[in-house]
Structure 1
Amino acid sequence: MTQQNADALTKAFAAADQGDPAPLLDLYDDTMTWAGFTFDGTQRVYSKAEFLEGLGVLAKLDASANEVVSCDVIDDELVVAKIRAYRKLGEHELDITMVMGHRFVDGKVVRGNDLVPSSFEAFWSATGLAG
């Protein structure tokens, strides 16, 4: 089952990068919580709605892409994905590999977390979009 989840995750990210966010939205359970980074580099726990709202800032950028580089499957529920994240706004550019952990239940992500390098918050601070 976990390989199916990894494949679904990879396909959902690819669809979102092509302008179709529906598979990614469907993959995240409505009760999902996500331990992630704020644009200033601190961490917090997001609800699904808050997580998606945070992704909405990507529309303000000149360019944005997320590519699943690889996935490790762990037992029956866990998928750890290495994601190449690219962001560009004016002269500011970010090209990093981040790590996202996903816990699946019945084919849906119910818990998640991410880990990013320090250049993540430096980029957001430089763009003025960090809030």
Structure 2
Amino acid sequence: MRLAVRLAIETRESINTLKEEIKSTGEFDNLHLTNGFVVNQAYLDSKKITSEKKWDKVLKFGSQVEERNAPKTRTDLHVNQTTIDGITELKKVLSQYTETGYITTSFVIKMIVRGSLLVRHGKI
């Protein structure tokens, strides 16, 4: 499914970093990895963070103020329905950690990509 979002430049860079890490595993050789595919993989990695209730560790690596003030670019991500449903659920979960009433889709994407990198580096 197509998901139209505005992502901070930092988030796009994190997606590219994660894309390179996924490529380096050799698991998806000879495939063109899209940003949507990378977000799907990041969501799968983030399930570990949710099950272990460690979103507070992911949130420590950045702030919401930086997200609001960061330059953004509009992009279309083609993600699967499981990821879209997971993003919707993570909006509720992350709002409890941040004690806010509303979490944006772009913020959730930023957190799952960051969380995926932390999981892959063994920091969570």
Alignment TM class, shorter chain as reference? under 0.3
**Per residue, is there more strand in 1 or in 2?**
1
TM-score, length of structure 2 as denominator length: 0.28
Which of these two proteins has the greater Rg computed from alpha carbons? 1
Question: RCO greater where, 1 or 2, for CA within 8 Å and sep 6 or more?
Answer: 2
State the TM-score, normalizing by the size of structure 1. 0.27
